[in-house]
Amino acid sequence: MSAIEIRNVKKRYKELQALKGVNLVVEEGEFFSLLGPNGAGKTTLISILAGLARADSGSISVLGHDVVTDSRQARRSLGVVPQELVFDPFFTVRESLRIQSGYFGLRKNDDWIDEIMANLDLTEKADVNTRALSGGMKRRVLVAQALVHQPPVIVLDEPTAGVDVELRQTLWTFISRLNREGHTIVLTTHYLEEAEALCDRLAMLRRGEVVALERTSTLLQRFAGMQLSLRFTQGVLPAELRALEVDPRAASGTNHLLRLASYDDVEPILAKCRAAGCTFDEIDVRKADLEDVFVQVMNEPEVIEGLS
């Protein structure tokens, strides 16, 4: 059984077609990433998954439970950490987690609540009113609330946005442990180094459509390759090399990032630049990372081969 199954989901807001027939399956036990620029449809998709919005057509199920026709079981199976800081200002951290437990009919859940707070460094704040917490601490409480009923599927929507390094490390240590114990994790993030380090497989959304869906390692090997970064003190990039630019829109008169098939391509490129009268201020060769792949995919006119 799949952890999440999304079939031909469409959603329109007035003139905006937010989702254009999204098809996606996340298997049980995966650490999966959903990536895309702002406005790609990620949060809309998560809202439909969580039962906060209704799709115009298509279906979503969580562990076989349809989010519309079997919403109670679907929501029991799911824990969602939203982007926004949403909290009740009238309760302490422990009280908030006990109330959240009550929503799922859980009594005598204090042992698990204590474990969550310990793993998210919230123990010292257990009896502090949530309105007195810093933004980073409030973010930790949101994560704790999503985990309080021990859901088998956990969705993290920008969980580390605007938080400190310590929280990121603490959070990922705990979430990685839960994944090893069998929990399915779905992550959206603009910190692409997190997705590259943590996620086995990923999907990229662009304007409401899935344009890439592959194992992270496969996408990096097949699509990214190596890159040559050039900065000129004078001269312009020869026209015959412009097709190699990773993101032509980001290139300036002096700074260029070019795709390489191998290290053997470096000297012929430099020779063509010298012949065109270019002099170099900086030359750097490196392997592309997921951020580089993301930029390339978002600029591709077609869906990436291997989409499944």
User: Structurally, how many domains does the chain consist of?
Assistant: 2
Distance separating alpha carbons of residues 30 and 112, to the nearest angstrom: 23
Mean pLDDT taken over the chain: 89
Residue 11 placed within a domain? yes
Query: How deeply is 253 buried, as exposed, middle or buried, from its count of CB atoms within 10 A (0-12, 13-18, 19+)?
Result: exposed
| Same domain for 214 and 81 | yes
Judge if 209 and 275 occupy the same domain: no
My answer on whether 70 and 118 are in the same domain is yes
pLDDT in tens, 80-123: 998 877 777 889 999 999 999 998 888 889 999 999 999 988 99
Same domain, 39 and 86: yes
pLDDT given at position 305: 47
Q: Could you tell me if residue 294 is inside a domain?
A: no
pLDDT digits (tens, 9 = 90+) for 200-241: 999 999 999 999 999 988 888 776 568 899 999 999 999 999
Residue reference for tokens 């993301």: 294
Percent of the chain having pLDDT more than 90?
A: 61
pLDDT of residue 250: 65
Looking at the structure, tell me whether residues 185 and 234 fall in a common domain. no
Query: Locate tokens 């039962």: which residue?
Result: 51
* 199 domain-assigned: yes
Could you tell me if residue 183 is left (phi over 0), alpha (psi between -120 and 50 degrees) or otherwise beta?
Answer: beta
Contact 209, 17 (CB under 8 A): no
Distance CA 210, CA 167 (A): 30
Verify that 61 and 109 share a domain, yes or no: yes
Q: Is residue 165 in a domain?
A: yes
| 303 in a structural domain | no
Backbone angles phi, psi at 118, to 5 degrees: -65, -40
DSSP 249: G
Report whether 197 contacts 290 (CB < 8 A): no
pLDDT tens by residue, 25-75: 999 999 999 999 988 999 999 999 999 999 999 999 999 999 999 999 999
Domain-ending residue, one of 220, 248, 275: 220
- Residue 209: closest CA among 80, 292, 302, 290: 302
Provide the residue range defining the domain that includes 261.
Answer: 226-287
Predicted TM-score (pTM) of the model is 0.80
What stretch of H or E contains 233? strand 226-234
